[in-house]
Amino acid sequence: MVFTTIVNCVRARGPDEFWRKRRIFKLAAHYIGRRRNCYTVAIKIVHRALVYATKGRQLRKQDITELRNARIIAGCEQHGLNFNDLREGLLRCNIMLNRKTLADLAAWEPYSFKALTDIAKQKTKEDGFGSVKDLQAPVGVITRGMSK
């Protein structure tokens, strides 16, 4: 006898299971062993990898800002100036350079960066701000008192 109704009681899984899992396996293609072939193992590791990727986007920005700050501070401390004084001096002279440009100049065009620190130093002397009070006036910055 053939029981045809038994087949109707078989629960059918979703038709998209293959494609749903394929999405995960594509992201795990470069893993090793069961992590790459077994879904229950791969899903955990792929989720963690995606979380790391999300967090890493913030960390990358932080890292780059830290690197640029370090370069600018190293550059201006060599010339005897504070980072804050450099920023304030350049701002008051209307020289609006961002950290990226300042860091690139400090690393690749050191003489241009020195010129910027000289301008900021002159400004600190003329306006009377800044934490290093006994700065010598830099050579070669001629303002004729018109820098205000």
Partner 1 sequence: MTTNKSLFLIPKFITTPSQNGVGRYVCQLQRVVLKFCKNHGSSRGIREFIEYDLLNFANKNPEVVVYLKPRRHRGPVIKAEYLNGDDQIVFCHNNTREEIAKWLNLLRTQSGNHDGTRLRKLWHTDYPSIQGPWTPYTFRDPALNLAEFPNEELSRPLDQPKTATEELDELFKKQQESEVAESSEVK
Binding site for partner 1 (CB under 8 A): 27, 29, 75, 78-79, 106-112, 114
- Closer to partner 1 by Cβ: residue 75 or 130: 75
The b-or-e profile of 101-126 (16+ CB within 10 A means b, else e) is ebbbbbeeeeeebbebbbbbbbbbbb
What three-state secondary structure class fits 134? coil
- Closer to partner 1 by Cβ: residue 74 or 137: 74
Q: Are 74 and 107 in contact (CB under 8 A)?
A: no
- Smallest distance from the beta carbon of 127 to partner 1, in angstroms? 25
- Closer to partner 1 by Cβ: residue 56 or 143: 56
Query: Cα–Cα distances in Å, from 75 out to 2, 85, 108?
Result: 88, 13, 11
- Smallest distance from the beta carbon of 110 to partner 1, in angstroms? 4
* 100 vs 4: CA distance, rounded Å: 74
- Smallest distance from the beta carbon of 107 to partner 1, in angstroms? 6
- Smallest distance from the beta carbon of 12 to partner 1, in angstroms? 33
For residue 50, give both structure tokens. Answer: 């995606």
- Closer to partner 1 by Cβ: residue 79 or 92: 79
